[in-house]
A = this chain, B = another copy of it.
C-alpha cells in the first residue's frame, strides 16, 4: 500500500544542508529550497529542487520543513523573523531542526511555534559530518513528540543511518551537546597523540592503522590524523563551529551544576586557535598549537 511522499522544504543549503538536500532529491522527494545567499542553491536547483522566495513560502508549500542553519540566532530569524516559517499555517506540519542550537532556546521555540502556527517542532541535530551526509550515514538525535518524530523518520532516512528519539523537544540538542563534548575533546586529544608520535620518531600517519579495532579507534581518528599530519585541500567543518558547541555545552553544564574539566580545556584550546586567527580553519589546525610555525 504505497502512501504518497510528503512534500519537503529545506532551509539552509550549506556545507551540510546541500548534500542532505541532494539525497532527498535522489530519494524521489519534491523539495522546496531556500537559502540566505541564493548562489548556494544552484546545485540543488540543477537536480530538481524548487526555489522558494522566503521561508514562509517554503513552509506554505511543504508538509515537513527542514532547517540546517548556523546557530540559535539564525534559527530564530528564519522561523520567527519577517517572512519566517511561523507566518505560514502549520497545522499538521512538522519543522525538523537539523541545526545545533541551545536546548533551552529549542524548548522556547517549540512552544512559540505551536502557539503561533500549530506546527510541531522536532529538534534533530546530526553527527557524521559532510561525508556522513553525502553517504547517507549520519546519526540524528531527535527531541519532540514521538508521533512527529515517527512522521519525519522516513524522509530523514534519506541521509541518516541512525535516527534516535531521545525525549521531548530539546532532548536532541542536549544529546548533541554530549556528542560535541566527546568530539571536541577527541580532536584536541588526537592532536596531542599525533604530536607525541612525531616528536618521538614514530610515523604518525600510521596511528589509525595501528589503532584499528582497538580502544583508540574512532571515526575522528581515521579522518583527522591524515589531515593533521599532511594538511588538507579544504576544511570539513571549522574550529569555530566546534567552539560554538563547546560554549553551549559549557552554558548547559553551568546551569545544571555539571563539571566538564576535559571539555572545558578543549574549549579553551579551540579559543586559543581562534585567537590566533584560525577559527575558520579546519579543526585539524589545532595541531599547529603544538608545532613550530612552518614545520
Chain A residues within CB distance 8 Å of chain B: 103, 126-129, 132, 137-139, 141, 161-162, 164, 166-167, 171, 174-175, 177-183, 185-186, 188-190, 192-197, 199-203, 206-207, 209-221, 249, 252-253, 256-263, 265-266, 269, 289-290
Contacts and interface: CB of A to CB of B under 8 A. Distances in A.
Contacts of A258: 192, 195-196, 199-200, 290
A199 B129 contact: no
Contacts of A197: 174-175, 178
A139 B181 contact: no
Specify the main secondary structure of chain A where it touches its partner.
Answer: helix
B174 A202 contact: yes
Contacts of A196: 174, 177-178, 181, 249, 252-253, 256, 258, 260
A132 to B, nearest CB: 7
Given A197-B178, A200-B103, A207-B178, A189 B263 contact: yes
B206 A127 contact: no
Contacts of A262: 185, 188-189, 192, 262, 265-266, 269
How many copies are assembled?
2
Contacts of A260: 192, 196
A137 B256 contact: no
Nearest to A195: B258
Contacts of A201: 167, 171, 174
Given A137-B213, A185-B189, A186-B216, 7 more contacts: A128-B214, A175-B210, A178-B197, A178-B202, A181-B196, A217-B218, A217-B219
B195 A290 contact: no
Nearest to A142: B210
B128 A213 contact: yes
B210 A220 contact: no
A294 B114 CA distance: 41
A265 B261 contact: yes
A269 B174 CA distance: 25
A128 B215 contact: yes
Contacts of A265: 261-262, 265
Indicate the member of A188, A203, A218, A252 with the most B CB atoms within 10 Å: A218
6 contacts: A139-B212, A167-B201, A178-B197, A218-B218, A261-B265, A262-B266
Indicate the member of A141, A197, A211 with the most B CB atoms within 10 Å: A211
